[in-house]
A and B are shown apart, each in its own frame.
Chain A
Amino acid sequence: MTKITIVAFDGTRHELAAENGSTVMENAIRNNVPGIEAECGGACACATCHVYVDEGWIDVVGEPEAMEEDMLDFAYDVRPTSRLSCQIAVSDELEGLVVSVPERQG
């Protein structure tokens, strides 16, 4: 299990034990983290699981691929740290990862 933290828009920190191979989105949904909608169920087709990766984690998490970048066009207030949480797979490297949920999903 890998420890990840999802910070809701109101500042509440959701500390989750995530299984390696699962996505950050799946963990958010399973644990009812508010603000992650995941309308399409993880197909990288809707941009409603948008999160901001904490500055210190950007290099580890990496850049979005072209398809994800395309979907981010539909998200609101996209920043250089924006990612779709359904495209971030949990692994040992992400132990301690922190992401935050934007004000709203599109």
Chain B
Amino acid sequence: MSETVETDVVIIGAGPVGLFAVFELGLFDMKCHLVDILDRPGGQCAELYPEKPIYDIPAYPEISGLDLVERLKEQIEPFDPQFHLARMVTRLEKGEDGWFEVETDAGECLRCKVVVVAAGGGSFQPKRPPIPGIEAYEGTSVFYAVRQMETFRDEDVLVVGGGDSALDWTLNLQPVARSLTLVHRRPEFRAAPDNVNKMYAMHERGVIGFQVGQVAGLKGEGGQLTAATIKTADGTMDLPCTRMLPFFGLTMKLGPVADWGLNLHENTVVVDTERFETSTPGVFAIGDINWYPGKLKLILSGFHEAALMTQAAKRIVHPDERVVFQYTTSSTKLQKKLGVR
């Protein structure tokens, strides 16, 4: 059932530091696979601040998160990294043969000699709105993503939120659901204007409901939702519903990294400052996810850590080869790897 891949290095996290690690490892002939929970590379740069300028990347007085990611992707292209996106690493273990096995929630098994944890603040997961008792309905009536539209067929669906996900699913689930109501705290949306117009048109035709307000409580029994209490400007009201889809964006959680037996310091992974290796030999941690005395959570620190980590990784992946330090400006060998003509 599971697909098995063998490679030199698996990098967990495809943010700027994970991407740059591909470059450093590539210069030393190590092939990389990257796993990320988001559906595109870039990590926080892509998810939290794609448009916002960063001012402390050397040689770039100003660069946006998205541009930085694009440049890094271009820089690592010669090394042909393989991406496993929208995947969460569920298991990390060292087998008896000395290889690591990295398993994803899509059933892939990546076998490698070195693991690099470059997971930033952890994994991005849907925000759970702090509605009292919501946990009791999760997985039965309350869902944070639509995996199968059938789950919502002939149900009374409440979509909550004002972003693209909320609007997209309002439009897509309307034909499937028995009834659908969109709840948002204000009449303005931060979503594609076209979809907002479509939603308002559907509301005018009476095809969907739209309620300005915030969900304050849930009613039901045994995980089966029957109504949501909505706080509006005029007071509270109960909206009957059997399914709820809250879309309140993503938050970073350390997630499965905590379960891999690595020494932790307040939600970060403890490493040494020579190799950036964790308490498990062969598993390295670089970027925002790691901790050592004096640690600064800067992209540029992560780049430095990637370079030093590579020296140690090389000794594990190619134990018989001598590690020769070279400059990309003068080494024809390195330039050949980069495709310089």
Contact = CB atoms under 8 A, between A and B. Distances in A.
Interface string B112-152: 00000000010000010110000000000000000000000
B130 A43 contact: no
Interface in B200-259: 214, 248-249, 251-252
B214 A74 contact: no
Contacts of A43: 48-49, 52
B184 interface: yes
Contacts of B52: 43, 45
Contact of A76 (B130, B161, B184): B130
Central interface residue in A45, A69, A76, A78, by most chain B CB within 10 Å? A45
Contacts of A103: 130
Nearest to A37: B251
Label chain B's interface by main secondary structure: loop
B188 interface: yes
A43 B214 CA distance: 25
B48 A77 contact: no
A36 B163 CA distance: 24
A54 to B, nearest CB: 21
A43 B48 CA distance: 9
Interface in A64-85: 69-70, 72-74, 76-78
Given A40-B48, A43-B52, A106 B248 contact: yes
A106 B48 CA distance: 16
A46 interface: yes
A14 interface: no
Given A39-B251, A73-B190, A104 B130 contact: yes
B130 A106 contact: yes
Given A106-B127, A106-B129, A73 B48 contact: no
Given A45-B52, A46-B48, A73-B184, A106 B163 contact: no
B69 to A, nearest CB: 15
B251 A73 contact: no
A46 to B, nearest CB: 7
A61 B251 CA distance: 28
A47 to B, nearest CB: 8
B185 interface: yes
B121 A39 contact: yes
A45 B52 CA distance: 10
B21 to A, nearest CB: 22
Given A78-B185, A106-B251, A40 B190 contact: no
A45 B48 contact: yes
Contacts of A45: 48-49, 52
A47 B252 CA distance: 13
A77 B251 contact: no
Given A43-B48, A78-B185, A70 B129 contact: no
22 contacts: A39-B121, A40-B48, A43-B48, A45-B48, A45-B49, A46-B48, A46-B251, A47-B249, A69-B188, A70-B190, A73-B190, A73-B248, A74-B248, A76-B129, A76-B130, A77-B214, A78-B185, A78-B214, A104-B130, A106-B127, A106-B130, A106-B251
Interface of A: 39-40, 43, 45-48, 69-70, 72-74, 76-78, 103-104, 106
6 nearest A-B pairs in the assembled complex, by CB-CB distance: A70-B190, A45-B48, A74-B249, A73-B162, A76-B130, A43-B49
Given A40-B44, A43-B49, A103-B130, 14 more contacts: A39-B121, A39-B251, A43-B48, A43-B52, A45-B52, A47-B249, A73-B163, A73-B184, A73-B248, A74-B248, A74-B249, A78-B214, A106-B248, A106-B251
